[in-house]
Amino acid sequence: MKLYYTILCLCLAFPTLAQEQPKTLEKEIEVSPFVDGSLLEPNESNKNILAIIIGDYGPIDRNGNQNFQKNNNLKKLAHGLADNGISSFRYDKRIVKQIKKGRVNARMSFNDFIKDANDVVNYFEKQATYKAIYIIGHGQGSLVGMLAANEKVSGFISLAGSAKSIDQVILEQIEQTAPGLAPDAQRVFDVLKSGKTTIDFPQALSNIFSLDTQDFMGSWMQYNPTAAISTLTIPVLIINGTNDLQVSTEEAEQLQKALPNSVLVNITNMNHVLFIIEGGDLENSKSYNESFRTLPPELMDALVKFIK
């Protein structure tokens, strides 16, 4: 009799479980032949704010991952926004789709990334579903987002975005690690800045200046983040972490200085991939491939406060 009663209770419980609604709704969207992404919405009627999330440098997918780097930071960011009633669209960098299709275009330009971001903004603006659209750019995506932000966007958020042009970043790294190569690097950058390419560079710099990357590098270095952010007339939030090994808090301050009415939030111990690091550089670098980590509450608080 007891066994029968237990089975009956379980059977009655299943319909209740089945009727539970998921907290979020996720949908795959192809914005263009180059852009595939995921629209994540909170399962509620009042979902009228959208954040477009743009990833960092390299073949970054919509979740924030690439080869040998899986941390799901952008996926976690999207779910954190959804928990606070904010929809988001995160998308694969166009190189990811090309790799999947086996059709990689070596002549890719930085301007292609700007076009992709503009296409995403235009796609959702035409849907007329959201009363407000925000751009959140992480790392390289910060510069892309600045250049894509326009009157259709209600606000812009820079996450760990550099204040320096890419040639300045690379030159500083070379001066620190191999100062003897700095004059050659400067000479090559001068050629690229003029819109030309060159094969006259030291073999030691071939990973930076290969002919496959020169067009992209040349188009990227045309843009200076402090100049780009200074032109924005929409609300801007700048977020950086004090344990970011790639972008210093001084750079975040330079961005804020370029646009004095922007808001700057430095999060103690947060690193470049948006995790809290209590230890040294080894823990910091390992965290780039540690998907078990969570985003700091201070980050989500700053984002939600600014957006809402």
Could you give all domains of the chain from N- to C-terminal order, each with its CATH number?
20-165+223-307 (3.40.50.1820), 166-222 (no CATH)
Greatest mean pLDDT range, 45-59, 86-100, 146-160: 146-160
Average pLDDT over residues 99-113: 79
Look at residue 84 in the predicted model and tell me its pLDDT. 95
The answer on pLDDT for 5 being more than 60 is: no
Q: What is the pLDDT of residue 22?
A: 73
Q: What is the pTM of this model?
A: 0.90
* pLDDT digit string, tens, across residues 209-236: 998 889 999 999 999 999 999 999 999 9
Q: How confident is the model at residue 96 (pLDDT cuts 50, 70, 90)?
A: confident
The answer to whether the CB of 254 falls within 8 A of the CB of 226 is yes
More confident residue, 160 or 16: 160
Determine the Cα–Cα distance for residues 141 and 162; give it in Å rounded to an integer: 10
pLDDT category, 47, cuts 50, 70, 90? confident
pLDDT number for residue 14: 45
The pLDDT score that the predictor gives to residue 10 is 42
Quote the percentage of the chain above a pLDDT of 70.
Answer: 91
Per-residue H/E/C for the chain: CHHHHHHHHHHHHHHHHHCCCCCEEEEEEEEECCEEEEEEEECCCCCCEEEEEECCCCCCCCCCCECCECCCHHHHHHHHHHHCCCEEEEECCHHHHHHHHCCCCCCCCHHHHHHHHHHHHHHHHHHCCCCEEEEEEECHHHHHHHHHCCCCCCEEEEECCCCCCHHHHHHHHHHHHCHHHHHHHHHHHHHHHCCCCCCCCCHHHHHHHCHHHHHHHHHHCCCCHHHHHHCCCCCEEEEEECCCCCCCHHHHHHHHHHCCCCEEEEECCECCCCCECCCCHHHHHHHHHCCCCCCCHHHHHHHHHHHC
Q: Give me the pLDDT at residue 9, please.
A: 46
User: Could you read off the pLDDT of 244-298 as tens digits, one per residue?
Assistant: 999 999 999 999 999 999 999 999 999 999 999 999 999 999 999 999 999 999 9
181 close to 208: Cβ distance less than 8 angstroms: no
The 87-91 sheet, strands edge to edge: 24-32, 35-42, 87-91, 49-54, 132-138, 155-159, 236-241, 263-267
- The lowest-confidence range among 7-21, 58-72, 280-294 is 7-21
Which residue is it, tokens 């808001």?
263
User: What's the CA gap between 32 and 93, in Å, rounded?
Assistant: 12
CA distance 61 to 136: 15
**To the nearest whole number, what is the mean pLDDT of the chain?**
91
Mean pLDDT (whole number) for 189-213: 91
The arithmetic mean of pLDDT across residues 47-69, rounded, is 95
| pLDDT reported for residue 302 | 98
Smallest CA-to-CA distance from 87 within 306, 304, 291, 295 is with 304
